[in-house]
Amino acid sequence: MAREFQRGHKAKISDLTAGTDLYVGVQITGPGLSFDISCFGLDADEQLSDDRFFVFFNQPKTPEESIQLLGAQAGDTESFRVTLDRIPPQIQKLSFTATIDGAGQMSQVAPGYLRIVAGGEEVARYSFNGGEFSTERAVMLGDFYLKDVWRFAAVGQGFDGGLDALLKNFGGEVAEEEPAAPAPGAAAPSFAPPAQGAAPPAFGAPAGPAVPAPASAPQPAAQGFAPPQGATPPPAPAPSVHAAPTIIAPMTPPGGAPVPPPAPAPAPYAQPGQQQPPYGQAPGQTAPLPPGYGQPQAPQAPVPPPGYGQPTPPPGYGQQPPFGQVPGQPGAPGMPGAPAAYGVPQGAPQGGAGVTAALQAYKETPTGQRWTQQNKKMVRVDLGMGGDQAVLARQGSMVLYQGKVDFSYKGAGFSGRIVGNATGQEMQLMRCSGRGQVFLAENGAMLHPIELQGDAVCVSAENVLAFDETLQYEVRRVEGHGIPGGALFTMQFQGTGTVVVKTRGVPVVLPVTPTTFADCNAVVAWSAASQVIVSSQVRMRRNAYPGDTGESVNLQFRGAPGNFIVVQPYEV
Amino acid sequence: MNQQLAGFAPAPVAARMENHGNHMLKVAMQTGNDLLARVGSMVAYEGFVQYEPNPPAVRQIAKDWMTGEGAPLMKCSGDGLLYLSDYGANVVVINLNGDAISVNATNLLAFDAHLTWGVERVKGLAKFAGQGLWNTKISGQGWVALTSRGKPIVVDCGGGEDETYVDPDALVAWSPNLKVKGKRSFKAQSLIGRGSGEAFQMAFSGQGIVVVQPSEDSTDRLRVRG
């Protein structure tokens, strides 16, 4: 599920996804506007010290191909592929920007977004609209930045000038408008087109029918050196777009093009001609090896991640057949142990090899508090902390414990039993006491620790997973006609401590307003200060027929602002 | 229409096994590099992949897996992309790279056929094993995919004196070098219907990790289907 970002929000990318091979899509449109979306690779001083790390329509990738421009696809006006672990160390920040090409201002843009997709799943989305901007002509949408680890920040900051001003801001140079760059005929390296042409379908989204027109124009331009004037949208009055190409002109002269891999690389392109099986192995390997799906250079790989400046194209991207082996390196045939061909994948989502590395993403989160949520579905309680208090938990909810913990039956007492049996709000509890950590979970339900500080909350008994023994609890009764069983019973918790509430699915927390209603079967909890009224839509005649809506008994909540109710997407 | 769905297209292959989302496994198949997968776990494939249920070699090794009903494994071979999943369980991909891991039988989704593996009964638990705690120990150079109902948690046993106790229903995998023993925690009370609900646990001690899932539902969905 995509995490929604607001302007200014930041997060570690490792919290969003374990992968490092990311797809970044930007959708930005506006009536009559066209946009240039680019990515600046900045150094520690936030300067564009190396022009090769300015990725835009005319320079679709960085030399080591850690950042690549993919063009429009899947609803995105422009998209990038970013391979975080291949970004060279001097690049500390990637800034994704959009600039208006031609006349216009940012306040005219339609609602758009910047999103991050990893492994086919959208993990983050920052949405913006024109109302956040005014007369700016450029906007810095979001940053990937390196602070110990790679993080993402939703920036959404407008910028007054156009692309050229933005470039100057980052310390780049804007060469004056020049007659277009070298003749495309001689310049266009023969490898480049296939690389580009094949790229979009392989990554993230089928480009074919989905590609909207606007950005596909700049993309072809990226292969030649001079953007055909007609292809780029309305001719800019300022030197905005057309000035840009000249910046990278020195970088991509015909001879020294860093983009296509030089001599050893022809293998991949020759591949179609050779008689390879459709999902063929890496070309250029010698026979005795079992066909490795992986990279031939993998055996050497365990040490460094395939580095900067290595001419190898990224795996699976563009140049290859769909099943994506990496073209053979000349050095490969010498490799010794056959199985080693599986080595470390270049773009693998997991950080390294071995069990520990693969499971790194699931490590238990460090201690520090009495109740720690491990992930959405598991909590850990540290019994030693906060005075040796016991915890009451639903029977059978323990999945793991460390230390000396004693589990004992917790009865409700004689009177409690009678109440419990009569009301259906009986809980089978166990008492966990001692010293140690207990991990609690139940049937993959989502868990929500609610910390009470003197206030009170009502929870339907079947949604209670565990609570501190220090809390007082009692059964409360909601009366009303039409409720199955005659009345609705809930548990009210009061005092100082934590209650862990479980829900099936992601719940919704609604503020209590004069018109807040909930199904009595789906409501999980509410703040005890709100008053509950049963409202039944009694239409006898209609209820008598089959095809009844079944939504006849609702609970209405009333209370002062600040009260809330929690409803789960699952009716018990 | 395509635009909404397009974001779910597979990412380019970078490794033998990868996650597609949290709940699906993508395997790059290749001739000569077979895969053993749970029967019934295939959801889609591209290319030319053939399935051989219960190949003789597997039958021999796993002849007594789950009360001798036959190994719930199939051998997949061919070239292409294979997608596996287990009723929406989370999939965890591990590149063993020489390590070893013991996996609960119901939590094993697929592994490379050339890995060294064997089915064994969980030691010390035989007397409890009403539900049959069988585990598969896998080691070597290659890839393993596990399933977990909900996102798993990895706990380090720490090697200290303290043992780590796990509810067998929530157990997914563990390091094979850990010492395992069963622990009854019920007392006389529980015989009269007053148990804590945690009748017995598995105790792990030593250096290594234990993987648990946030669910005690250990029913084998792939198996139920037959």
Is A338 a domain residue? Answer: no
Is B223 a domain residue? Answer: no
Chain B partners within 8 Å of A20 (Cβ): none
How far is residue A438's CA from residue A384's CA, in Å, rounded to a whole number? Answer: 10
Is B143 a domain residue? Answer: yes
Q: For A443, which of B4, B162, B217 is closest by C-beta distance?
A: B217
Q: Which residue of A has its CA nearest to B184?
A: A407
How far is residue A474's CA from residue B42's CA, in Å, rounded to a whole number? Answer: 50
Is A481 a domain residue? Answer: yes
Q: Does residue A398 sit in the same domain as residue A441?
A: yes
Is B159 a domain residue? Answer: yes
**Coil/strand/helix, residue A473:** strand
Q: Which of A317, A343, A361 is the last residue of a domain?
A: A317
Q: Does residue A58 sit in the same domain as residue A37?
A: yes
- The confidence score (pLDDT) of residue A538 equals 53
Distance (Å) from the alpha carbon of A377 to chain B's nearest alpha carbon: 6
For strands A10-12 and B209-212, give the pairing: unpaired
How far is residue A322's CA from residue A271's CA, in Å, rounded to a whole number? Answer: 13
Contact A120 B21 (CB under 8 A): yes
Instruction: Classify residue A514 by burial, with Cβ atoms within 10 Å: 0-12, 13-18, 19+.
Output: exposed
Is A362 a domain residue? Answer: no
Is residue B93 scored above 90 in pLDDT? yes
Q: Does residue A80 sit in the same domain as residue A140?
A: yes
Q: Does residue A420 sit in the same domain as residue A556?
A: yes
Specify whether the CB–CB gap between A95 and A234 falls below 8 A.
Answer: no
* Domain extent at residue B144: 14-217
**pLDDT tens, position by position, A1-60:** 577 888 878 888 888 887 788 888 888 888 778 888 888 888 888 888 778 888 888 888
Q: What is the mean pLDDT of residues A120-149?
A: 83
How far is residue A230's CA from residue B181's CA, in Å, rounded to a whole number? Answer: 75
Is B112 a domain residue? Answer: yes
Specify whether the CB–CB gap between A66 and A82 falls below 8 A.
Answer: yes
- Average model confidence (pLDDT) across chain A: 67
Q: Does residue A74 sit in the same domain as residue A168?
A: yes
The top-scoring range by mean pLDDT among A389-403, A422-436, A468-482, B23-37 is: B23-37
Q: What percent of chain A has pLDDT over 90?
A: 1
Is residue A426 scored above 60 in pLDDT? no
Is A411 a domain residue? Answer: yes
ipTM of this predicted structure:
0.82
How far is residue A411's CA from residue B221's CA, in Å, rounded to a whole number? Answer: 35
Tell me whether B50 touches chain A (CB under 8 Å): no
- Dihedral sign, CA of A415, A417, A420, A422? negative
Is B161 a domain residue? Answer: yes
Is residue A166 scored above 80 in pLDDT? no
- Chain B stretch 97-116, residues whose beta carbon is closer than 8 A to a beta carbon of chain A: 97-101, 112, 114
Q: Which of A317, A334, A354 is the last residue of a domain?
A: A317
Instruction: Classify residue A174 by burial, with Cβ atoms within 10 Å: 0-12, 13-18, 19+.
Output: middle
Which residues neighbour A147 within 8 Å (Cβ) at sequence distance 6 or greater?
Answer: none
Torsional class of A277: left (φ above 0), alpha (ψ -120 to 50), beta (otherwise): beta
How far is residue A310's CA from residue A467's CA, in Å, rounded to a whole number? Answer: 56
Q: Which of A317, A333, A349 is the last residue of a domain?
A: A317
DSSP secondary structure string for all residues of A435-458: EEEEEE--TT-EEEEEEEEEEEEE
Q: pLDDT band for position A572 (50/70/90)?
A: low
Q: Does residue A477 sit in the same domain as residue A553?
A: yes
Is residue A113 scored above 60 in pLDDT? yes
Beta-bridge partners for A487: A479
Q: Does residue A163 sit in the same domain as residue A285?
A: no
Can you give the CATH number for the domain in which A376 is found?
A: 3.60.160.10
Between A104 and A273, name the one with better pLDDT: A104
* Domain extent at residue A562: 371-567
- The confidence score (pLDDT) of residue B91 equals 93
Q: What is the mean pLDDT of residues A490-494?
A: 86
Task: Identify which of A195, A203, A149 has the alpha carbon closest to the alpha carbon of residue A21.
Answer: A203
Is A325 a domain residue? Answer: no
Q: Does residue A27 sit in the same domain as residue A123?
A: yes
Six token digits for residue A519: 């199904």
- The confidence score (pLDDT) of residue A374 equals 85
Tell me whether B38 touches chain A (CB under 8 Å): no
Q: Does residue A265 sit in the same domain as residue A224?
A: no
DSSP secondary structure string for all residues of A268-319: HHHGGGS---TT---TT--TTS---SS-TTGGGTTSSPS-TT--PPPTTSSS
Q: What percent of chain B has pLDDT over 90?
A: 27
Q: Which residue of B has its CA nearest to A431?
A: B196
- The confidence score (pLDDT) of residue B143 equals 92
Best mutation site among B2, B17, B24 for testing chain A: the one with the most A CBs within 10 Å? B2
**Coil/strand/helix, residue B131:** coil
Specify whether the CB–CB gap between B170 and A399 falls below 8 A.
Answer: yes
Domain count, chain B: 1
Domain count, chain A: 3
In the block, which residue shows the tokens 């139940």? Answer: A442
Task: Identify which of B157, B72, B175 has the alpha carbon closest to the alpha carbon of residue B119.
Answer: B72
Is B32 a domain residue? Answer: yes
Global pTM reads: 0.54
Can you give the CATH number for the domain in which B115 is found?
A: 3.60.160.10
How far is residue A245's CA from residue A457's CA, in Å, rounded to a whole number? Answer: 63
Is B9 a domain residue? Answer: no
Q: Does residue A562 sit in the same domain as residue A534?
A: yes
How far is residue A48's CA from residue A485's CA, in Å, rounded to a whole number? Answer: 70
Is B224 a domain residue? Answer: no
How far is residue B84's CA from residue A188's CA, in Å, rounded to a whole number? Answer: 42
Q: Does residue A57 sit in the same domain as residue A183?
A: yes
Q: Does residue A309 sit in the same domain as residue A266?
A: yes
Distance (Å) from the alpha carbon of A514 to chain B's nearest alpha carbon: 37
Tell me how far CA of residue A563 lies from CA of A447, A464, A505, A531, B120, in angstroms.
Answer: 20, 20, 22, 10, 55
Order of all β-strands in the sheet with A531-536: A516-519, A553-558, A531-536
Calculate Rg over the CA atoms of chain B: 19
Q: pLDDT band for position B188 (50/70/90)?
A: very low
